[in-house]
Amino acid sequence: MGWQWFHRLGSPRWFYEKTDAWMPWLAVVSVALLVIGSIWGLGFAPADYKQGNSYRIIYIHVPASFLALAGYYTMAISGAIGLIWKMKLAEAVVKCAAPIGAVFTFIALVTGAVWGKPTWGTWWVWDARITSMLVLLFLYLGVMALQEAFQHQDTANRASAILALVGTVNIPIIYWSVEFWNTLHQPATLKFTSESTIDPSMLYPLLTMIVGFYVFYAWVLLASTRSEVLRRERKTRWVNELAAAKAE
Amino acid sequence: MGLESSVTSPTSAEGSLQAQPLITPSIWSGFWATFKRDMLIAVRHRGEMANPIMFFLMVITMVPLGITPEKGILQILAPGMIWVVALLATLLSLDGLFRSDFEDGALEQLLMSPQPLYFQVLAKVLVHWLTTGLPLTVMAPLLGVMLALPAEGFLPLVCSLLLGTGCLSLIGSIGAALTVALRKGGLLLSLIIMPLYVPVLIFGSSAVSSAIEGFPMGGQLAVLGAFLAFAIMLAPIAAAGALRISVNG
Amino acid sequence: MEFQFSNWSEFMHMAGHGPYVWACYLITAIALAYLAIAPLRQRRLLFVELQRKARIEAREQQLKSKQAAESSSV
């Protein structure tokens, strides 16, 4: 009985109509949280005594890194669901999650690089975390490229799901080996502010931004999946009726 | 052949129409048959087999030409350079792993056979490793001499390549299976597989460089061995799944 | 909790770190805006395409019934 919603998710139309009401709420909440968090972090949080004002980049760098990784797991889990239950919706999520996750990874990389300039005096450091992020970006790009390469949507779905799953098995190994490689080649002096010692006055805006990024991710992923579902169902009647209704 | 199983058809109850028992060859004989067939094909195309090795040799020749022939610098570059080029050579050869079988329809026969696909893929990967990974490993000391690799580096180089190229072939088989149905799969194969090679590269080249610096290399080799065991377990499963998708899709 | 900077230009400057901080926020804002707009744009394009297809089909239907009417009158 409790699983009915799960089976209903198999119907693209049910999903599209159900989520219609959620979209404005997700949009308002995420934009509000992001705006409040940014103003709080930029203007009201105290400056770091060591890094000065440059640490304010943390308010986007850390949430973006969280989502870069969480986005990959979202994609891989949807891929597994799509492979096992052949659920159309999960297959659409795999396709949509890849570019979104890649953008978050890109944000994490760019903000990390820009942060490195005032902190370490150089744009690019082969730091363990940054390097792992770069490899994660490559994994995302691989899934996107594979998704694009096939002519049949069905083959593309399943092939990219397999690649996403293989990547998931590898991510912990990659992180661990990059960590090992880093300790070999660099003294562990270059470090971001460790989050455990962060002052509450700096922590609360960070938490606001993290929650804001998560809600934003949910919003964007849903919006993207919704339009992808429409595209895949464009031959059906309900989509055409929807298009006709939008024309008036 | 202890694993032979026989299936009798349900019509065998009819006295005169005694159905012939259907004999399924054992897993081992299926593995062996694929292995022998692929080995034979590889030996008959000896020219193709030499290509990755020539690539290996030529790229290594470019290094002193492009950077410097100075011994001190080459010495530092050698472990990483040899490993990176071995990785590229493996990648280049991977595109052909399933392609010719896909094009002449042999792959479809393989998918329809009662044998578990896991062992068939394993046999194919083993042949791939015997024809690329192993020759690359054997060649590596020669290239080490060309790049002025210190004497302590040779044994770890061979050991790490021996274990590492096996991982490269196994992981790469997933990419080869995913892209086999694509007309221009070669470059895409490299794109999707290269990030997965990062751990092997790190531990492979670090085994060599730490041995040169006088540290024990056992840890890194153990990790490479663990990767290999892990890859033998999982990679053929993923590759078999990918093959089914590519061929039927 | 109070505003950490005494005036606007100090806020922009951030003791020399301003360009880095503001560049990060700007890049992120652009990237996030793209993520938010792209699906809406994709959906609008799809609807426009479907509407055009529907119009073409309606026209063809019209033409066919017209021809049918003419041929029956002759």
Tens digits of residue pLDDT in A62-92? 899 999 999 999 999 999 999 998 888 899 9
pLDDT, position A55: 81
Greatest mean pLDDT among A72-76, B14-18, B45-49, B107-111 lies in A72-76
CA C20 to chain centre: 29
pLDDT, position A136: 94
Average pLDDT of every residue of chain A? 86
Residue B18 has pLDDT above 90, yes or no: no
Alpha-carbon gap: B125 to the closest alpha carbon of chain A (Å): 18
* pLDDT interval class at B166 (50, 70, 90): very high
pLDDT, position C20: 86
Which tens digits make up the pLDDT trace of A104-155?
Answer: 999 999 998 888 888 878 888 887 888 889 999 999 999 999 998 988 888 9
Q: Which helix (H) or strand (E) holds A202?
A: helix A200-232
Alpha-carbon gap: B50 to the closest alpha carbon of chain A (Å): 29
pLDDT, position A235: 87
Q: Which helix (H) or strand (E) holds A15?
A: helix A12-19
Average confidence (pLDDT) over A33-41: 90
ipTM of the complex: 0.84
pLDDT, position B173: 95
pLDDT, position B6: 46
pLDDT, position A248: 63
The C-alpha atoms of residue B131 and residue B125 are separated, in whole angstroms, by 10
Average pLDDT of every residue of chain C? 86
Closest residue on chain C to A40 (Cα)? C3
Residues of C in contact with A234 (CB under 8 A): 46, 50
Alpha-carbon gap: A79 to the closest alpha carbon of chain B (Å): 13
Residue B11 has pLDDT above 60, yes or no: no
The C-alpha atoms of residue A51 and residue A47 are separated, in whole angstroms, by 8
Angle at alpha carbon of residue A26, lines to A72 and A37, rounded to 5° = 80
Residue in A223, A243, A244 nearest the CB of C39: A223
* pLDDT interval class at B20 (50, 70, 90): low
* pLDDT interval class at B19 (50, 70, 90): low
Considering only residues A43 and B156, tell me which one the structure prediction assigns the higher pLDDT: B156
Residue B137 has pLDDT above 50, yes or no: yes
Closest residue on chain C to A59 (Cα)? C25
Residue A142 near residue B195, CB atoms below 8 Å: yes
A31 — contact with chain B (CB < 8 Å)? no
The C-alpha atoms of residue A140 and residue A28 are separated, in whole angstroms, by 28
Residues of A in contact with C56 (CB under 8 A): none
Closest CA to B153 of B222, B223, B84, B76: B76
Residue B14 has pLDDT above 60, yes or no: no
The C-alpha atoms of residue A46 and residue A202 are separated, in whole angstroms, by 7
C9 — contact with chain A (CB < 8 Å)? no
Share of chain A above pLDDT 90, in %: 41
Average confidence (pLDDT) over B136-163: 91
Residue B119 near residue B37, CB atoms below 8 Å: no
Residue in A146, A154, A173 nearest the CB of B178: A146
Closest residue on chain A to B203 (Cα)? A177
Residues of B in contact with A153 (CB under 8 A): none
Share of chain B above pLDDT 90, in %: 47
Residue in A42, A230, A247 nearest the CB of C51: A247
C33 — contact with chain A (CB < 8 Å)? no
Q: Tokens 């009201």 appear where?
A: A44
Q: How many CB pairs under 8 A join A and C?
A: 113
The conformation of residue A197, written as its DSSP 8-state character, comes to G
The C-alpha atoms of residue A3 and residue A13 are separated, in whole angstroms, by 18
Average confidence (pLDDT) over A41-63: 81
Considering only residues B115 and B156, tell me which one the structure prediction assigns the higher pLDDT: B156
- A abuts C (3+ Cβ pairs < 8 Å): yes
C28 — contact with chain A (CB < 8 Å)? yes
Average pLDDT of every residue of chain B? 86
Residue in A43, A115, A239 nearest the CB of C11: A43
DSSP secondary structure, chain B, as one string: -TT-EEE--GGGGSSSS-PPPEEEPPHHHHHHHHHHHHHHHHHHTHHHHHHHHHHHHHHHHHHHHHS---HHHHHHHHHHHHHHHHHHHHHHHHTHHHHHHHHTTHHHHHHHSSS-HHHHHHHHHHHHIIIIIHHHHHHHHHHHHHTT--GGGHHHHHHHHHHHHHHHHHHHHHHHHHHTT-TTHHHHHHHHHGGGGHHHHHHHHHHHHHHHTT---HHHHHHHHHHHHHHHHHHHHHHHHHHHHHHH-
Average confidence (pLDDT) over B125-137: 93
B222 — contact with chain A (CB < 8 Å)? no
Closest CA to A88 of A144, A142, A14: A14
The C-alpha atoms of residue A107 and residue A104 are separated, in whole angstroms, by 5
Residue B217 has pLDDT above 70, yes or no: yes
pLDDT, position B68: 86
Non-local (6+) Cβ contacts of A5 within 8 A are: none
Closest residue on chain A to C48 (Cα)? A243
C8 — contact with chain A (CB < 8 Å)? no
Lowest pLDDT segment from A222-236, B3-17, B40-54:
B3-17
The C-alpha atoms of residue B177 and residue B164 are separated, in whole angstroms, by 20
Binding-face residues of A in 41-100 toward B, CB within 8 A: none
Non-local (6+) Cβ contacts of B63 within 8 A are: B74, B77, B81, B147
Considering only residues C46 and C72, tell me which one the structure prediction assigns the higher pLDDT: C46
pLDDT, position B249: 66
- C39, A226: Cβ pair inside 8 Å? yes
Binding-face residues of B in 23-62 toward A, CB within 8 A: none
C34 — contact with chain A (CB < 8 Å)? yes
Residue B5 has pLDDT above 50, yes or no: no
The C-alpha atoms of residue C13 and residue A55 are separated, in whole angstroms, by 14
- B195, A181: Cβ pair inside 8 Å? no
pLDDT, position A1: 53
pTM: 0.87
Which tens digits make up the pLDDT trace of B184-204?
Answer: 778 899 999 999 999 999 999
Closest residue on chain A to B178 (Cα)? A159
Average confidence (pLDDT) over B74-94: 91
Which tens digits make up the pLDDT trace of A191-211?
Answer: 444 445 667 778 888 899 999
* pLDDT interval class at A186 (50, 70, 90): low
Considering only residues C6 and A197, tell me which one the structure prediction assigns the higher pLDDT: C6
Residue A6 has pLDDT above 80, yes or no: no
